[in-house]
């Protein structure tokens, strides 16, 4: 095993974690400053300002989505929104789809319960999955490296 490559991977992993943390902190600070500045722009009736060779301007965009009571839309709220779109003649905005994260969790669960000779052979995975999956649902495995503290 190339120990230098392993150490390089560990160093890059640590650098990525530090950069991710820094980016998250910077983004939070940026959002706070932006909220203050938007309020100032609006209070002063200003739509743009030139500073240090850059133009900072207000940008407004309208968005539509499910009317929801909480942070996440319930199934009933989603159904009501879909029906409202259909009733308005906007069927083209409604799509039948599935959640690939939930489907992947289901596949992992099924394969975990499979006999060892099937779970370790990708060519045999469809033997334990619903027959309708073959040719319609792609199942693959991604292998990468992760790190954790060695205690």
Examine residue 10 and state whether it is found in any structural domain, yes or no. Answer: yes
- The residue behind tokens 């980016």 is 23
Q: Confidence band (pLDDT; 50, 70, 90) for 144?
A: confident
Domain count, the chain: 2
pLDDT exceeds cutoff 80 at 63: yes
Structural domain boundaries enclosing 123: 100-133
Token pair of 36 as six digits: 């203050």
| Residue 148, pLDDT score | 82
Contacts of 9 (CB under 8 A, 6+ apart): 145, 147
Q: Confidence band (pLDDT; 50, 70, 90) for 145?
A: confident
Examine residue 34 and state whether it is found in any structural domain, yes or no. Answer: yes
Rg, the chain, Cα only: 25
pLDDT in tens, 5-39: 999 999 999 999 999 999 999 999 999 999 999 99
pLDDT exceeds cutoff 90 at 96: no
- How far is Cα of residue 87 from the mean position of the Cα atoms in its chain? 31
Measured between alpha carbons, how far is 77 from 69 in angstroms, rounded to an integer?
Answer: 9
Examine residue 105 and state whether it is found in any structural domain, yes or no. Answer: yes
3-state secondary structure 104-139: HHHHHHHHHHCCHHHHCCHHHHHHCCCHHHCCCCCC
pLDDT in tens, 106-132: 999 999 999 999 999 999 999 999 999
Examine residue 62 and state whether it is found in any structural domain, yes or no. Answer: no
User: Are 13 and 19 in contact, with CB atoms under 8 Å apart?
Assistant: no
């Amino acid at each position: 095993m190339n120990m230098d490559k392993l150490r390089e991977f560990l160093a890059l992993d640590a650098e990525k974690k530090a950069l991710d943390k820094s980016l998250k902190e910077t983004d939070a600070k940026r959002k706070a400053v932006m909220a203050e500045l938007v309020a100032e722009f609006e209070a002063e009736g200003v739509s743009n300002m030139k500073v240090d060779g850059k133009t900072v301007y207000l940008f407004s965009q309208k968005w539509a989505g499910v009317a929801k009571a909480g942070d996440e839309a319930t199934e009933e709220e989603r159904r009501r929104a879909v029906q409202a779109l259909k009733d308005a003649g906007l069927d083209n905005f409604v799509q039948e789809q599935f959640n690939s994260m939930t489907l992947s969790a289901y596949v992992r669960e099924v394969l975990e319960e499979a006999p060892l000779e099937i779970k370790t052979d990708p060519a045999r995975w469809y033997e334990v999955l619903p027959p309708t999956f073959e040719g319609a649902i792609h199942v693959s495995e991604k292998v990468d490296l992760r790190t954790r503290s060695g205690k």
